[in-house]
Structures are given as structure tokens and as C-alpha cells.
Amino acid sequence: MMSRMLFQPPMNGRRSEMDRLVDAMLPEAFSWVGGRDSVGRKAPPLNIWEDDRTVYIEAELPGMRDEDIEVTVLNRVLTIAGQRTIQVPNGANVVHRERNDMRFERSIRLPDGIDDQQIEAAMRNGVLTLTLLRSPQSQPRRINVRFGNGNTTASAEPASEEIAAGTSDEK
């Protein structure tokens, strides 16, 4: 009797080639974002966005429990590591399998100005969200400009007390 695989995806071999080509064409602007885990395996997809005060990282980790995930930071490198084991009930006959056991480690070099003591992680609906706060020193602030007549521009946050009071050492 001949055996055949049910539900075989038609582009299985081409998908890895396409992934390789897309990874090779990523723009240099995203070089601080990794693409694969430390041994070249496909790692969970990430979304990263930022505003003036925070960087957000989302990783899709469906089917993973909190004890399966480890998030660490060392020398300005954030690492998300995890392992998922798919259990097949005893006596069951696997007809088709696309979800496999997964072990990954994804490292991301943190951008300048991130306070690595202020990183929070939360898991919801299979998505891990990391919230990375920028240090106060790296956040933009407005600097008062003093004009020749002694007036300064209006500002909610003066650059320094001396400049705001007009007592700088500038000649």
C-alpha cells in the first residue's frame, strides 16, 4: 500500500529560499533588529515601534506558557528565548503536522538611550509585548534661546537655571 502525505503545502522548499532573499534585502536602517536566532533557525516574528519616550517590541509566541519564555538583557543586548513542546496524545496517529517543537533565541541590540532597568514584559493572547523606556537624559527637551535684548523664548522646560534667569557666563 502506498503512503501519501495529506495537506502538503505546495511551496515548502521555496519558502525558505524566499525568507533568505527577503532577509538579505532588509535595509541597513533596521540593522539593530535580528532576523534569525543564534543558530540560524527561523525565530518568532517581531514588530518594533517607538515614540519619544518608549520603544515597544512585540513577538508572536502562540502556545507558549510563561515558564517557556525567558527575557534577559546584558551589555545592551535584549534576548528573548523560549521553548515550546507540542504533545501528541499516546496512541494518536499524526496525519499532518505543521506545528512542531520550537526552541529559539532572538537577540536585539538596544538603541541608544534605553534604560535597561526599566524594561517591562507582558504576555497576552500569544503576543509578548516588551516596553522599553528611554532614559530621561535621552528624551528631547527644549532649550531657551536668549535674544540680544535679554528676552528668552517661552519654554515649559528651561535648559538651565542660569540661562533662564539670564545669569550665564556668556559674554
- Domains of the chain and CATH, by start: 12-138 (2.60.40.790)
Q: What is the DSSP letter of 65?
A: -
Give the percent of the chain with pLDDT over 90: 27
Kind plus residue range of the DSSP H or E element containing 2: none
For residue range 104-132, list pLDDT tens digits in order. Answer: 888 889 888 898 898 999 999 999 999 99
* pLDDT for the residue 169: 47
Tell me the average pLDDT of the chain. Answer: 74
CA distances from 14 to 7, 17, 70, 74, 128 (A): 17, 5, 32, 36, 29
